[in-house]
A and B are shown apart, each in its own frame.
Chain A
């Protein structure tokens, strides 16, 4: 990951040029393009926008959405909201961890999956819930969770 193609980001930076308070939007677009915010990418954003690197880093570390580590092809968001907690989100997390064989934030060896815990996905009436690539899966059990992951892995429900 030494050579990042910054030309992808150039038109986005141009769009926000001179726009006060656009740092979060710039970082969101950068993450969308590159999947995560590497130190090189953050340094590039700081240089191009003229915002001090410390501030860029400060914002990138403050918000939960920004990923400072690379992620797998399919990003699993495990809801840890109140309703999910009461209805057994711990069991879902265990099923995901056991199936993938990695810890939170890590990439599976095949590069397919990373899972992260999130505060609340707002699908509380279907708790416990997880979201994969912006699609929510509800009323989960350990077995159902594994079924969903297997489908994605085998390409039936892939991104």
Chain B
């Protein structure tokens, strides 16, 4: 039975019916009626952010740590435009987000009213879909549809723009089960002929590799379980993109590490040399493929993806399978088992020998120091000292992000939140707050760089207000490390604007926000500093002063194929000297 109520009440009612327990937001003139309704209820917790960008990243962290959509409430104009970066981030990384924005009243739209912006126009290219609701009777239906679109098929962000008069007016509220089933229903089951063809190849492959991505995690925990079953029973090596870390356990024997620009030597060479590549929920991103023309030249490629536009977008594949990763993997396993679970064991043995040979290269080797904390060492110690904890990691963007991906290990999905596609500096701190809201008892650590962290540091206020005991682990090199690395390697060591001048004192900053901070610079003090951070019951900033000029290796330079990796300083030195003579 539909019920009559105001649009503002409908918003809260719809969120409740969608099972929302947390909203990240910031009030303003055009959403006051909704905030009035939030004031008068206790089912939904509202997290007051300090900047709307922070709200969206928090919702992303929440969504990725739970598998549920993250919800954001912002006002019109600047409230909505501040959400744009977060929306784009969520679009590129396929994170389900529902943003509700206020808008000037319908009769003022188009008059350049106070805090008016063409929000649906601005956010059209950075949302999966968006709506401007001009009739209170359509509001409930639109919000429910928004949740459906955000979470169905390839997940993504949606925005619903609600003019203030629509919030005040009364109309009929419909709950989700009163509405006809939605027309938007992407195909989930894969084509069985293509699946059978893939199974035939699985049976014969001499040098297979499973190339997994964020789609495995988005498909749900059952998809991760099926991936593990397939990889373990077939004995196939598994590599993953940055987004897919944790879908297959890093502690399992078939794990060969992350691939891509800063991926592991063995993973990239396995991709280059394989004869069967099975892409499961990844999208052949340019950080992964390197030079397209030389990408895995001798392999048959299968691609499982729920988004038809992902298939054959960058790399032409031989066996496209359109469908949900979980559904398709289940069918692959069923068909494969029904035919006797065969693999080419002799050839696989040789393939693993080759991979072990690449592993022996020890590509993550770095020269440690007794006087200066190496960022890699800091992460190795963080890994060792947080093992066994109920741990979630977020990151900012840059060198520290890549080192975190290399040196921290994930055995479960939904434990690793990082900005992959958009590469949004300032993502990690608010994301860590979103994760902590979802998992209040867990150990949530944001691995950060000094420059990225400053971009949304105002959210420490949110952490303190909501007593979110997030740990900010700042690898402070007083540089924009990745920019500096590229300038060193590609721009003749001209370090244009890539140092962090006038950094704040992070310990005093922590105190100013009302939380605790500490600084560590001696490698001998590092363990104690990390342990103190973990033990502290509250938000904490650990300022880890690290080597300022460390470069992140391995590295596939842009435009190079997988088999032309740089493994360390020694590989770059010749090139830099020769080039220095020409350039500088």
**Chains A and B come from one and the same complex:** no
A-side residues, CB < 8 A to B, are none
